[in-house]
Amino acid sequence: MNFLNITTRFGPKLLGSVEPVPKGLALPLHLAPALIMLCWKMVESGLLTVT
């Protein structure tokens, strides 16, 4: 899966989109940068492939 795809598909949800999200699944805004960094580290280490 394309990294940009992941960002555009899940980014809005992770950043708190207007769609109703169950409270348990809602990701606090301050965790988003950490998640993005985690994804980036995965890309760098080759666990996640960028096409």
Question: CB–CB of 50/39 below 8 Å?
Answer: no
The domain locations on the chain are 1-25
Nearest residue to 15 via CA among 43, 34, 2, 1: 34
- Residue 1, pLDDT score: 45
pLDDT < 70: residue spans in the chain:
1-30, 48-51
- Residue 3, pLDDT score: 53
- Residue 37, pLDDT score: 84
Report how many helices (DSSP H) and strands (DSSP E) the chain contains, helices first.
2, 0
Can you tell me which residue has the tokens 């169950």? Answer: 22
Can you tell me which residue has the tokens 């890309």? Answer: 43
> Can you give the pTM of this predicted structure?
0.36
Question: CB–CB of 33/23 below 8 Å?
Answer: no
